[in-house]
Every structure is written in structure tokens, then in C-alpha cells.
A and B are shown apart, each in its own frame.
Chain A
Amino acid sequence: MANTFRWYDFILPVVAVILAVGYALYVLNNPTDAMVAGFVTPDRIISSLITHLYLVGVSMALAILAAFPLGILLTRAGFRKFAPLVVGTVNIGQTVPSFAVIALFVGILGIGERTAIFALWVYSLLPILNNTIAGVSGVDRSIIDASRGMGMTRLNTLRKIEIPLAMPVIMAGIRTAVVINAGTAVIAAYVGAGGLGEIIVTGLTLARFQVLMLGALYAALVALMLDYMLGMVERLLPK
């Protein structure tokens, strides 16, 4: 059965937590100098982590709220022809370097959280949009034909048949987006939005490798863990 978990399903989170806590304890107990000791405190690590998760969470939620319905809409008869145009436009957003997007929107939205969330939102749209379109239009035509032919309404066919069958592909898109998002979220520090990027930037500015490493490790582990958690959610969904 797909819904029963085995012990090896839990290796990743255990290893991640040991790594995160272990490295933090190591740096806290063995600061190379006063500057490192002053900067690396449990409070700061935790607040950076929370801000990071907040940025990722909000931007991801907004991206799902926008890309999922848009993707569904673009698979409906009458709107299907706009799909390449919309995907193309979103694709452009994706190809522009993340730094450039942030820089561009600092001018409009100013410094702070909003700009960071907006940039992360732009980055997360494409995988979700693409996979929603691919998942829904990949549902076997004969299944839709049977459903409509038997008298299911369009809405019920979408709700009961198309979306559930497309769900694995859509979830894969969301997981791709979350990894990109959590990785990119470190640049939020450059617009004063905080997050784990702040630790990395501090490490770079002070030229302290330990500090830099702390931020990078945490950002990577957050991306891995979010992907892992979504994978678990997917397995728990009724098949």
C-alpha cells in the first residue's frame, strides 16, 4: 500500500534536524572570534528561519492561488488557445535573473517584504502553471468522453475527474516551485526582508565562513524539508 510508511521514509527529516541542530551548536560553542559569537545567537537563527519560512509560505500560497486556477482556465475549451501565450509570458519572468527582478521592483514596490514576496511569487508561478496545464490536458480523452457522455456536467467532470487525475502532476509542479522558491528566498535579504539570506549576507560581509555556511545550510535544508513534507502530503491524499 502506498499509504503505509516505512522507517526509511523518515531518514531525511532526522538527518536534516541532526545536521541543523548539530552545526548550530558547533558554531555557538566554538565561535572563531567575538564577531561570530556576537552575531550567531539562537534567537537570531530562529527568527531568520521563521522569516524565511514566512516569505516562502506567503509567496507559495499566492502562487498556487494564482497559477492553479489560471492553469485550469487555460485548459478549458475556448481558452486553450491562449495557453502558449500566457505560458510564454510567465516564462519570460522566469528567465530574468532573480536579482534583476528584485532590483526592478524595488523601484516600484520599494524596499521590504512586499518586493521579496512579489519576486518569489513570480518565480513560483511557472512550474505550477505549466504542470497544471500539462496534468489536466494529459487526462485520457476517452475518460472525459465517457464522463461527459454519461451526463456529468462540465464542472463535475473537472472537479471529480480531471483535477483528481491531474493531481500527481500538479503536485510535482508545486514541489518544483517550492524548491526554487526556498532557494531563491535568500536574496530577500538584499531588499531588507530578512530571512536566512541575512545570515549569508552577514557571513559574506564579515568574511566569516562559519556564518555564511550556517545560512546556506539552513536554506538548503528548508528547501529539502518543504519538498519532503509536500511529498508526504501527496502520499496521504486519497488515491
Chain B
Amino acid sequence: MIRLENVSKIYPGQGEPVIENLNLEIQSGEICVLVGESGCGKTTTMRMINKIIPHTGGTIYVDGKDISTIDATELRLNIGYVIQEIGLFPHYTIEKNIATVPIEKKWDKQRIAGRVKELMELMELDYDAYAKKKPRHLSGGQRQRVGVARALAADPPIMLMDEPFGALDPITRMNLQNEFIRIQARIKKTIVFVTHDIDEAVKMGDKIAVMHQGKLVQFGSPQDILTRPTDEFVENLVGHNRILKRFSLIECRAINPSAAVYKLDSERAEIIRRIENFERTSSFPVIGIIDDDYRPIGYIPMFKYEAGDETPIEDRIKKIKPIQTIEDSATLFDALGRLFSSSERCVFRMEPGGRCTGIITMGDLFEAVRVNG
């Protein structure tokens, strides 16, 4: 969808190029995050794609067409643009701000009105409350929602986003990031996303392009960047706790828990067999106990078993109150948090319908990172 071939940028009168020989290919429907320190050329690279900054060498293809053959206005009308400062027009109402590109494209009034309503709904902005307000009456988070809605207005296949959530407080930023990921899953835009925050890059990106001094130093999936940094620069950028960051890439449903769950009534014999035959070498010897409707009951720590112990199963079950569960769409990072905050040995992994599909222990977390590394 977007392809940069040997692209470079030299400002007149400066010997050193700000962008040197950049090659990058961004697939349709993907978020590609350009990440790096300030001045590394990430914003310049993004702004060359919609010709705000003209490139001086190489070729940029958008949708297979060399952008130097496309009129700048024409090109930009089909590329959404979101910047950190948002740049809403203070003298326009929210409605008119969002309608900017459709008005430039000369859509008819009815179509514009319908589209504005639809977008405000998508971005969770109350139409009746805000459509006729001016930007100064909105909070920072709401303004950035308007900024995103405005960029999406004419349904461009491509979006350029320059630190769109950078100026927001951490909680608002997290909410908007999560929402945007949810929306993107539906709208499947091709997105170039610029940030200096590696955590945001890992979270938002399908692909991450790490830039340093005008050069692309590594390009790959977040997993690649975290597990196999190509050089010291990338390693420093991702930081020493990159193992922890990888936790936030893996969903709970993706792992295969080492400890099994058993139904208390229908699998009683199996439970007894497991307790009597457990291996003392296994690192977290627990089994999960559920009822016949797959609802978690508790767990049995097996290392407490001595040969000949006749304690009934019911008395062995450690009941956790409240029972610690985690949705299988949550990340291992969330599971880790749950394990620590409850100081229990396991959390119950739940399907959306409320069925328990396994328990996750600390051992599983270590294993997941080891295997994926």
C-alpha cells in the first residue's frame, strides 16, 4: 500500500541528509509505527508520504502510484492526518471541523451530516451535546477524538498519525489507544503512526520501524523488536525490561497451561489419581477444580500430599475469595498483575461465555516467554 524506495531527504544548504536511503513497505490494513528519539526523522518520513515535506531522493509509492505524479491536494484528500497538537479549527463547530474534508471534496449536505453523526458515534462523542460546540469547550481527550474523527471523515484508506495521543494524560491516552485498536480492527486502515514511546509502539503496532539518525535500524513485528533487537541502539530503546513488555503481546488464550483443570464431580477419580501420582519436580504443582458447568471452584496445591493421607478432596481445595479469573483475551501482563495482586498460585482463564478453560500459573508465564523468545 505504501512503499518507500531508497528515499532520502536533504535540506538545501545542508550537507547531511536527514533521511538516508530509507526502504519501507507498509501493508494494507496494518499499523506501522515509526519509533525513535526526537530528531531521528520519523516525523519527516511520515510527512513525506503526504508531500507536506517533499522528498529529495528515491521514490514513494502510495497505492502503487509514485506520489510525485499525484497532485498534492488530491493525494492529501485521500490520506487521513492526525497530529499531536490536533489542530482543530477554533472558529468552527465540532460538526464543521469533522466535515472539513467532505466539504473540500464537495459532498452534498445530507451525506456530510450523516457521516458526521456516524463518526461522532464511532468516536463516542455525544452528537446532541457537542456537534454545535466549539473546540474550546471540549476536554483534551474529546478534542483528540474529534481530531481522529476528522481524519476518518472521508473514509481515506490511509491514515498518518503523528503522536496522536502524546499530549494526553496517561489514563485518557490508554483509553484512546484501546479504543483506537478496537476501531482499527473494524475499519482496517493502513496507518503510519509516529511515536517516541516504545511501549505505545509495541501496543499499537502490527509492524514497528525503529529509526535512528535518519536511518531505518530495524523493521519487524513488535515480537521481533523485543526478542531480537538487531543492535545496541534498539536494545537500549526497548529497555532492559523487554521481557515484561513481551508479556503484553501475548494473549492468555495463546498459551497452553501446564496445570490441568478437572470437574469436581464427574472427574473425581482423575483428581485423586493426579494427587497421588504428582511429580515433586514440577515447579508449580497445582490443579484447578471446576464444577460441571465449568465454573471455577478453587485449586489443590498438590505438594501438601503425603502418602497415605486420607483427607477428602473437598477439604483439600483451597478456595480463593474472590475467585481470581481472567478473560482469555487479556494479555499475560494482565495475568501477571492478577497473580501478584492476589498472591495466589493461579488465576482461572475464562472464555467469553464464562467457561473456565484452564488455570495460569507463574510457571506458565515463564514458559510462554521462554518459548516465544
Contacts and interface: CB of A to CB of B under 8 A. Distances in A.
A202 interface: no
B87 A140 contact: yes
Contact of B100 (A150, A164, A239): A150
A146 B83 contact: yes
23 contacts: A140-B87, A142-B83, A142-B85, A143-B87, A143-B88, A143-B90, A145-B85, A146-B85, A146-B86, A146-B89, A147-B87, A147-B100, A148-B76, A149-B83, A150-B81, A150-B150, A151-B76, A152-B73, A152-B104, A153-B73, A156-B104, A164-B91, A165-B89
A161 interface: yes
B101 A150 contact: yes
Interface in B37-53: 47, 50, 52
DSSP class of A's interface residues: helix, strand, loop or mixed? helix
Interface in B16-65: 47, 50, 52
Contact of B87 (A145, A151, A153, A164): A145
B52 A148 contact: yes
B77 A151 contact: yes
Contacts, number: 65
Contacts of B89: 143, 146-147, 161, 165
A147 B83 CA distance: 11
8 tightest A-B CB contacts, nearest first:
A146-B87, A142-B85, A151-B76, A151-B77, A149-B81, A142-B87, A143-B87, A150-B81
Interface string A125-138: 00000000000000
Interface residues of A, number: 18
A170 to B, nearest CB: 14
Contacts of A156: 104
A148 B89 CA distance: 12
B135 to A, nearest CB: 10
Interface residues of B, number: 27
A150 B77 contact: yes
B151 interface: yes
B107 to A, nearest CB: 13
B76 A149 contact: yes
Interface of A: 140, 142-153, 156, 161, 164-165, 239
Interface of B: 47, 50, 52, 73-81, 83, 85-91, 100-101, 104, 147, 150-151, 160
Given A150-B151, A156-B104, A164-B91, 19 more contacts: A140-B85, A142-B83, A142-B87, A143-B90, A145-B52, A145-B85, A145-B87, A146-B83, A146-B147, A147-B87, A148-B52, A149-B76, A149-B160, A150-B100, A150-B104, A151-B76, A151-B79, A153-B104, A161-B89
A220 B83 CA distance: 50
A152 B77 CA distance: 8
Nearest to A161: B89
Contacts of B73: 151-153
Given A142-B85, A146-B83, A148-B52, A165 B76 contact: no
Contacts of B87: 140, 142-147
B86 to A, nearest CB: 7
A147 B151 CA distance: 11
B315 to A, nearest CB: 67
Contacts of A164: 91
Contacts of B104: 150-153, 156
A150 B156 CA distance: 11
Q: Which of B77, B86, B100 has the most CB of A within 10 A?
A: B100
B77 A145 contact: no
A149 B151 CA distance: 10
Contact of A152 (B47, B79, B100, B160): B100
